[in-house]
A and B are shown apart, each in its own frame.
Chain A
Amino acid sequence: MRIVNLKVNGVGKTFIARPETTLLLALREQLGLTGAKRGCAQGACGSCTVLLEGEPVVSCLVPAVTVDGADIATVEGLADGPALSHVQQAFLDGFATQCGFCTPGMIMSAEALLDRNPDPTRDEVNEAISGNVCRCTGYEPIVSAILDAAVRRREGAKL
Chain B
Amino acid sequence: MTLLRGRGYASVNYPTGMNLGGDPSQALIHATTMGGFVISLSSVDLGQGLKTVVAQCAAETLGMPMENVIVDTADTDTGPHCMGTFASRGTHRIGNAVIMAAREAREVMLAVAADELEVDAGDLETDGTGFVRLKGSPATEIHIQDITLAAHFKQGKTISGRGIFLKERNYPVPETGEMDPDSCQAHACTVAEVEVDDETGIVTVLSLHNAYEIGRALNPAMAAQQVEGGGWMGVSHAVFESTEPYYPASRDHGPVDFCEYLMPGPAEIPVQSSVILERPASNGPFGAKGIGEMTANAPIPAIANAIFDACGVRLTTMPFTPESILRGLDALRA
Chain A interface residues toward B at CB < 8 A: 40, 42, 44-45, 95, 98-101, 123, 125-127, 129-130, 133, 136-143
Contact = CB atoms under 8 A, between A and B. Distances in A.
Given A95-B221, A133-B258, A100 B267 contact: no
A16 to B, nearest CB: 31
Residues of B in contact with A, size category: 20 to 34
B266 A44 contact: no
A141 to B, nearest CB: 7
Contacts of A126: 265-267
B232 A138 contact: yes
B47 interface: yes
A129 B266 contact: yes
Given A40-B258, A138-B231, A98 B267 contact: no
B49 A138 contact: no
Contacts of A130: 265-267
Contacts of A125: 266
Given A98-B229, A139-B266, 20 more contacts: A44-B258, A44-B259, A98-B225, A99-B47, A99-B48, A100-B47, A123-B267, A126-B265, A126-B267, A133-B258, A136-B225, A137-B229, A137-B232, A138-B232, A138-B233, A138-B269, A139-B264, A139-B265, A139-B269, A141-B225
Nearest to A139: B266
B263 A133 contact: yes
Chain A interface, DSSP helix/strand/loop, else mixed: loop
B272 A138 contact: yes
B91 to A, nearest CB: 15
Which of B228, B233, B265 neighbours the largest number of chain A CB atoms within 10 Å of its CB?
B265
A109 B114 CA distance: 56
B46 interface: yes
A83 to B, nearest CB: 21
B127 to A, nearest CB: 28
Nearest to B221: A95
B135 to A, nearest CB: 37
A107 to B, nearest CB: 15
Contacts of B269: 138-140
A84 to B, nearest CB: 19
Nearest to A98: B47
Given A127-B267, A129-B266, A130-B267, A137 B257 contact: no
Contact of A136 (B229, B264, B265): B229
B225 A137 contact: yes
Interface in B43-74: 46-49
B270 to A, nearest CB: 9
Nearest to B271: A140
Contacts of B46: 99
B191 to A, nearest CB: 17
Contact of A44 (B221, B225, B257, B267): B257
A114 to B, nearest CB: 16
13 contacts: A95-B225, A98-B225, A98-B229, A99-B48, A126-B266, A127-B267, A129-B265, A130-B265, A133-B265, A138-B229, A139-B232, A139-B264, A139-B269
B254 to A, nearest CB: 15
Contacts of A137: 225, 228-229, 232
Contacts of B230: 138
Nearest to A142: B266
Given A98-B49, A136-B47, A138-B228, A45 B258 contact: yes
B153 to A, nearest CB: 34
B297 to A, nearest CB: 15
A101 B45 CA distance: 13
B57 to A, nearest CB: 20
A72 B182 CA distance: 53
Contacts of A133: 258, 263, 265
A140 B265 CA distance: 10
Contacts of B267: 123, 126-127, 130
